Structure 1
Amino acid sequence: MKSVATRKAELESRRAALLARIAEIGQELDAHESKDWEELAVEREGDEVLEDLGLSAQHEMRMIDAALKRVEEGEYGYCVKCGAEIAEERLDVLPATPFCRDCAPRR
């Protein structure tokens, strides 16, 4: 069983990785120099994928920030809906999850 301190370190590490990814995506989106219409169309398609990745990373960061707040409040590892303890196996897969296995499908 992992300690809350270990979980917190893992969440902070993942948050740092997401910040780096978001910065890379921003740089890539700003780096276009093509003036050819065809190349611009291809770049725009790529930009849409990058934007989706960036939005996904931002969502995950919000989840991590909320989990870190629960750590500070002493509520990490407990379902925010029913108050039950979240299974260790679930936290291994989804460390930022606010819900137990039973409440997650009902949210």
Structure 2
Amino acid sequence: MQTVQDPKTTLTLRLEQLKARIAEIETELESHQSKDWPDMASERESDEVLEEMGLSAQHEMRMIEAALMRVETGEYGTCVTCGAEISAERLQLLPATPFCRDCAPRR
């Protein structure tokens, strides 16, 4: 059984990566200024993809921030639903997860 290696460092590093990604997305969104209709349409489609990426990054950031709070309170690795221990393998794969395998929402 593998152990989770320093979750605080892993989560903090991922949080910084997401912040950088959001900054890049914002810069890209602000750079579009075409006056040509076909170019504007293409940029708009690109903007929609960038906005979705940004929303996804923001969601992941909130999950990481919550996980960091659980690290600080000593609750990291414990399922927020049932209180069972979250497996090390699951935490390696999804370091910010608040759920054990049994309680994870099915999608």
Q: Which amino acid aligns with 2:8?
A: K
Q: 1:47: which partner in 2?
A: 47
How far off is 1:46 after superposition? 0.2
User: Any unmatched runs of 5+ in structure 1?
Assistant: none
CA contact (8 A) 2:86 2:100 kept: yes
Q: Which amino acid aligns with 1:58?
A: Q
Secondary structure class of the residue paired with 2:105: helix
TM-score, normalising length from structure 1?
0.94
Q: 1:91: which partner in 2?
A: 91
Cα-to-partner distance string for 1:27-81 (whole Å, 9 max, x where unaligned):
0000012100110000000000000000000000000000000001100000000
Q: Which amino acid aligns with 1:101?
A: R
Normalized per residue, the structure richer in helix is: 1
Q: 1:72: which partner in 2?
A: 72
- Output the CA distance in 1 between the equivalents of 2:105 and 2:50: 29
Q: Which amino acid aligns with 1:81?
A: T
How far off is 1:105 after superposition? 3.1
- Matched pairs, number: 104
Secondary structure class of the residue paired with 1:105: coil
- Output the CA distance in 2 between the equivalents of 1:82 and 1:62: 21
User: Any unmatched runs of 5+ in structure 2?
Assistant: none
Q: Which runs of 4+ in 1 moved over 6 A?
A: none
Higher RCO, 1 or 2 (CA under 8 Å, sep at least 6)?
2
TM-score, normalising length from structure 2?
0.94
CA contact (8 A) 2:4 2:91 kept: no
Q: 2:4: which partner in 1?
A: 2
- Output the CA distance in 1 between the equivalents of 2:79 and 2:51: 31
Q: Which amino acid aligns with 2:4?
A: K
CA RMSD of aligned residues (A): 1.0
CA contact (8 A) 2:90 2:101 kept: yes
**Percent of aligned positions with the same letter in both sequences?**
67
